[in-house]
Structure formats: structure tokens, C-alpha cells
Chain A
Amino acid sequence: QQQVKQSPQSLIVQKGGISIINCAYENTAFDYFPWYQQFPGKGPALLIAIRPDVSEKKEGRFTISFNKSAKQFSLHIMDSQPGDSATYFCAASISNEAGNMLTFGGGTRLMVKP
């Protein structure tokens, strides 16, 4: 059962444009939603995270928008740069469980063209 669905699978954006990646989840017990960035040959690295008590969180050029009623959240990358070219994963976890394993979306391969 895929509990976190991510789209699109791939995305091509011009330099300076806005990249938007969307995720939808099924389990309403999820209460922590991080985004990870992965470059080829590297492990995923945390980019930004949000909890469902806020609708938006911004860190630099990266913004998460969260819609609790729709069970959706998205990552916006403003002023996209070639260095942002990577694979992005949304994830979700339940923070009050004994463990806090991450359930990942399928990933989005972003290419930013110069």
C-alpha cells in the first residue's frame, strides 16, 4: 500500500522558474512531513519539514504548503537553479509512535535548465 503518492515523476524547469512537486497521503495519523533532496551517489538529505498545525513554511527559496483537509502538501522551489537538479522525496511519519520511520513518496527527478 503506497501511503504517500508523489507527482510528477520528473520535472524540467528553466533557470529562474518555479518548481512545484506535490504529495498526497492517506494515513491521517501522519504528523510530520519532511522533504529530502538526493544527489546522484549520495544519501537523501533533509531540505525542509512541516507539521500539520501550520499551512506554510518557508526557508530561503524553498516553501512547503500544507493542506490538512485535502491531505496534500507540496514543495515550491523559487528561482530554481541548475544546482537544484536532484531527486526530491516527500515523506511522512507519525511522531508519537515508539519509532518514527519515514514513509517516502516515489520521488521526483528535477532538472533545471540553464
Chain B
Amino acid sequence: DSGVTQTPKHLITATGQRVTLRCSPRSGDLSVYWYQQSLDQGLQFLIQYYNGEERAKGNILERFSAQQFPDLHSELNLSSLELGDSALYFCASSPLGSGDNEQFFGPGTRLTVL
């Protein structure tokens, strides 16, 4: 158990809908990262927050947004969902915002868009 929690574990929804994925980092970790894992694209970095502020952005679609709250938990919002958004979404956390510090991954949320 990495100490990173994600809810829900599974999510099934329809095209065009909006969903929110939630992540609680390990106690004391200030950075939260979101990654998408799909069969055709592999594991891809989406976005990083550090202590409430956006720190880095990857291949995140404009339909997706995220935020980190004062208690350091983070939410990833996915809107106008398409079939291709079906994937595993992982949250990871680390103590710092930069440097080669280990990222601890949560168990993921499996999103299925029908």
C-alpha cells in the first residue's frame, strides 16, 4: 500500500458526460501528479500540482482540468467524455515539487466511457 488513495475505483459513464476523480496524497507529500494509462498510449503524464499550484503540464486535453485543495487532496475533472477517454487514471504523490524524489502511485481509477 503506497499511502495514496483514489476514489472511485471504477467509473462507468456515457459519452458527453462529466466525471470527477479524487486523489488523497500520502501524508506530508506536497506534490500530486495525474497520469493516464491506456492500451494505445501507455502511461502518460497529464498534470502536476505542488502545494496548491499548477507546477507542470503534459498532454492534458482542454476538456480535462485539475486542482489541488488546501488539504492537498486533488481532483481531476473530465468533461465532454469520449470513448477514447476510457483508461486507467493514476494519481501519484511525492514530498517535493522537483528533483528525483520517488513518486508513489495510487491504485488508480478505471474509467469506462460507453
Q: Do A and B come from one complex?
A: yes
- Chain A CB within 8 A of B64 CB: no
B104 neighbours in A (Cβ, 8 Å): 45-46
A98 and B97 form a contact (CB under 8 A): yes
Q: How many Å from the CB of A109 to the closest CB on chain B?
A: 12
Among the stretches B11-19, B39-47, B78-86, the one at the interface with A is B39-47
Q: Are A43 and B4 in contact (CB under 8 A)?
A: yes
Check B98–A100 contact: CB distance below 8 A: yes
Minimum Cβ distance to chain A for residue B95 (Å):
11
9-residue interface stretch from A15-23, A58-66, A75-83, A89-97: A89-97
Q: How many A residues face the partner with a CB closer than 8 A?
A: 27
The A contact surface, by secondary structure, is loop
B90:A97 contact, CB within 8 angstroms: no
Query: Taking CB as reference atom, which chain B residue is nearest A6?
Result: B42
* Interface contacts beyond A99-B98, A102-B35, A102-B43: sample of 4 additional A-B pairs, CB < 8 Å, sorted by A: A46-B103, A49-B102, A98-B56, A105-B42
- Residues of A at under 8 Å CB distance from B? 31-32, 34, 36, 41-46, 49, 51, 89, 93, 95-107
> Which B residues are closer than 8 A to A by beta carbons?
2, 4, 33, 35, 42-45, 48, 50, 55-56, 58, 90, 92, 94, 97-108
